[in-house]
Amino acid sequence: MNIALIAHDKKKQDIIHFAVAYRPVLREHTLYATGTTGLKIVEATGLSIQRFRSGPLGGDQQIGALIAENKMDLVIFFKDPLTAQPHEPDISALIRLCDVYQIPLASNMASAELFIHALERGDFHWRHIIRNKGEREE
């Protein structure tokens, strides 16, 4: 599975703790992240992560492009609901793309843990079917 990891500044420590705790699960998948978030997760876990630009510099849009191409299976995006973000339109576009393309989106630790346990159980097999169907239609 292809998994995107994103976190606002005040949530970066949370996503690092999450990645450390679930490193055995995450290492079995292809990981993507926005710039600083990816760097901090790599430093803390040693996981292999393809890093994009930081969110405000286009990283959210780069992940959105993968969603639109049906190349992303899960987005874990620890958002900070109490701080205004200067790139809010990009965040809204990313969330909208997840909804349009039926990509599960975890926006906090609680939902991310539910998704990661579902991933461990194999509950995301349907994403393989959808991704393969999309490739045949192109």
Q: What is the pLDDT of residues 66-86, one digit of tens each?
A: 999 999 999 999 999 998 888
The pLDDT value recorded for residue 30 is: 98
Instruction: Report the 10 Å Cβ neighbour count for 19.
Output: 27
Average pLDDT, the chain: 92
Q: Outline where 22-124 has alpha helix (H).
A: 23-26, 35-45, 59-68, 88-100, 109-121
99 is an active site residue: no
Q: Report helix, strand or coil for 49.
A: strand
Walk along the chain (138 residues) and give the pLDDT tens digit of each residue. 999 999 999 999 999 999 999 999 999 999 999 999 999 999 999 999 999 998 888 899 999 999 999 999 999 999 999 988 888 888 999 999 999 999 999 999 999 999 999 999 988 887 877 777 666 555
Domains of the chain: 6-137 (3.40.50.1380)
Catalytic residue among 9, 14, 60, 80: 60
The pLDDT value recorded for residue 137 is: 58
> pTM for this one?
0.91
